[in-house]
Amino acid sequence: MRNPTESGSATATASFTLHPDFAVGEVHPHLFGSFVEHMGRCVYTGIYEPGHPTADEDGLRTDVLELIRELGVTLVRYPGGNFVSGYRWEDGVGPAEERPRRLEQAWRAVETNQFGLSEFMNFTRKTGVDPMMAVNLGTRGVEEARQLVEYSNHPGGTELSELRRTHGDDKPFDIRLWCLGNEMDGPWQIGHKTAEEYGRLAAETAKAMRLVDPDLRLVACGSSHSGMPTFGHWEETVLGHTWEYVDYISCHAYYQEFDGDVDSFLASAVNMEHFIESVVAGSDHVAAKLQSSKKLMISFDEWNVWYQSRQPDEKPEPWSVAPRLIEDNYTVTDAVVVGSLLIALLRHCDRVTAACLAQLVNVIAPIMTEPGGPAWRQSSFYPFADAAKHGRGRVLRVEPTSSTHETAKYGEVDLLHATAVQGEDGTTTVFAVNRSTTDELELAVDVRNLGDVRVLEHRVLADADRHASNTLAEPDRVRPTTREGSAVAEGRLTAVLPPLSWNVLRLGG
């Protein structure tokens, strides 16, 4: 490995070999999920705005629905997030004019409940996504979760299923994937619990929900982030109680650039991959203790770039409806980090089988809207859309030899972060990030074992101004471009990756 000099005079290089016999696993479609929470303007003036020029008969913004389909989202987690730990699901069903307005304490806003369960399920049908429902295990518990499953999934003939039918939803919603609460390890959470308290409650809730519908897939709350003081112990304790009842343990992680330390920020996936591998090790340890052959999956159901350091400066009017809250404006640098985090998830697709970019619209989101006005793509929209479109299939193992550089937070880090996905159509897509802010990266890939392939496309997201972003005034300032010159000759792919860039190299016959 060579370490480029600060002047950029050395040539940065990276190489790896692709072979179809060496694979990580198949990508589950739910790896490309997102998240809709009743927070800020994600719902109101985000996906739902009756009276907007593009609103359909149900108040959904069709300009936003079109962008969601383009983004390629497959799964949406709802209704939170911190919001769910104080939420009464009954408030969001039935005639809209009869629904109560409530003080929403997680984000100190007023919740009108004009958008609820039926509206959300209608949204999933119109966008073609699968629902992922979270239940309140903060202020509520077993009975309310059991009732929600009956209302949602039972065909008819009981009080709650017939209530759903009188509300206009004759057929059951058939929600398969459920989260047993949200971030219950966090002191900020309404109804925060110890690992013992939560583990027992989650186990009993899971049992009751499955008595109503045996075919549910359930997610137990893991640590809110890997820096929590209870990390590790929390997972072991919770899984000790819930092991036989759950299918997933959750992970949450957010990243941001601190004090201009762009090199550490661009290496954020180092932390994400370590987090995943630690949770896998912990869950496999529980399996060994219980002498179980079960392999627990990970639901990484909150992840993104989020500048939490800016949040104290936000002072929305308390108890207002849909205030502007954490509407981060994403740069090219942020988009490259999002791409790198997607690479990390794909590289662990054998154990990460659900993941949700948090959130979908306006709130730290790839899609932005203006009330009564347009919707547009943030810079982070593009790497997610690329991965969702071309990241379906079988992930091949990528073990690069790469030039490196030193980071303050993670030590010596490869400049190349990459993975490759072999699609069912015979194409192979290499996703690659160049973490250097100054040097081009010369990439060489041995592709002899892929057969007779050529470069179909090399898409790049990069910019001379790493702080460039898309805004209401300039919604198309940042866009991917096609890069010429990448080629395959004698079984060797060669390409040059620009500094600080997200790259999609598609290979086929």
Q: Which residues, in sequence order, are bridge partners of residue 356?
A: 33
Whole-structure pTM value = 0.96
Which one of the listed residues 37, 119, 273, 302 is annotated catalytic?
302
Amino acid symbol at 461: L
Which two structure tokens, joined as six digits, stand for 299? Answer: 């639901």
Which two structure tokens, joined as six digits, stand for 415? Answer: 């400049």
What pLDDT is attached to residue 230? 97
Rounded CA gap, 266 and 497, in Å? 15
**pLDDT above 80 (res 10):** no
Rounded CA gap, 380 and 331, in Å? 8
Rounded CA gap, 265 and 256, in Å? 6
Widest CA span of the chain, in angstroms?
75
Q: How confident is the model at residue 5 (pLDDT cuts 50, 70, 90)?
A: very low
Which one of the listed residues 183, 235, 257, 273 is annotated catalytic?
183
**pLDDT above 50 (res 8):** no
Does 183 qualify as catalytic in the annotation?
A: yes
Q: How confident is the model at residue 314 (pLDDT cuts 50, 70, 90)?
A: confident
**pLDDT above 80 (res 166):** yes
CB pairs under 8 A, 24+ apart, for 484-487?
Answer: 484/458, 485/458, 486/455, 486/458, 487/454, 487/455
CA nearest neighbour of 118 among 163, 156, 159, 179: 163
Q: How confident is the model at residue 370 (pLDDT cuts 50, 70, 90)?
A: very high
Bridge pairing between strands 75-78 and 367-369: unpaired
Span 109-130, average pLDDT: 98
**pLDDT above 90 (res 478):** yes
DSSP 248-267: EEEEEEEE---TT-HHHHHT
How does pLDDT run across 410-426, given as a tens digit for each residue?
999 999 999 999 998 89
196 Cβ neighbours under 8 A, 6+ residues apart: 237, 241
* CA pseudo-torsion sign 113, 114, 119, 123: negative
Does 302 qualify as catalytic in the annotation?
A: yes
**pLDDT above 50 (res 481):** yes
Is cis: bond before 373, omega within 30 of 0? no
- Average pLDDT score, the chain: 96
What pLDDT is attached to residue 312? 74
Rounded CA gap, 103 and 381, in Å? 32
198 Cβ neighbours under 8 A, 6+ residues apart: 137, 181, 184, 185, 221, 238
What pLDDT is attached to residue 309? 85
Helices 195-212 and 233-242 sit at what angle, rounded to 10 degrees? 30
What pLDDT is attached to residue 4? 54
**pLDDT above 50 (res 7):** no
**pLDDT above 80 (res 227):** yes
Q: Look-up: residue for tokens 């997933």?
A: 248
What pLDDT is attached to residue 215? 97
Q: Which residues, in sequence order, are bridge partners of residue 21?
A: none
How does pLDDT run across 248-281, given as a tens digit for each residue?
999 999 999 999 999 999 999 999 999 999 999 9
Residue 200 backbone phi and psi in degrees, to 5:
-65, -45
Rounded CA gap, 507 and 504, in Å? 10
Q: What element of type H or E holds 111?
A: strand 109-111
Report whether 12 contacts 442 (CB < 8 A).
Answer: yes
Report whether 444 contacts 15 (CB < 8 A).
Answer: yes
Rounded CA gap, 121 and 370, in Å? 24
**pLDDT above 50 (res 196):** yes
Structural domains of the chain, ranges and CATH numbers in brackets: 12-23+397-508 (2.60.40.1180), 28-390 (3.20.20.80)
Residue 214 backbone phi and psi in degrees, to 5:
-65, -15
Rounded CA gap, 95 and 434, in Å? 52
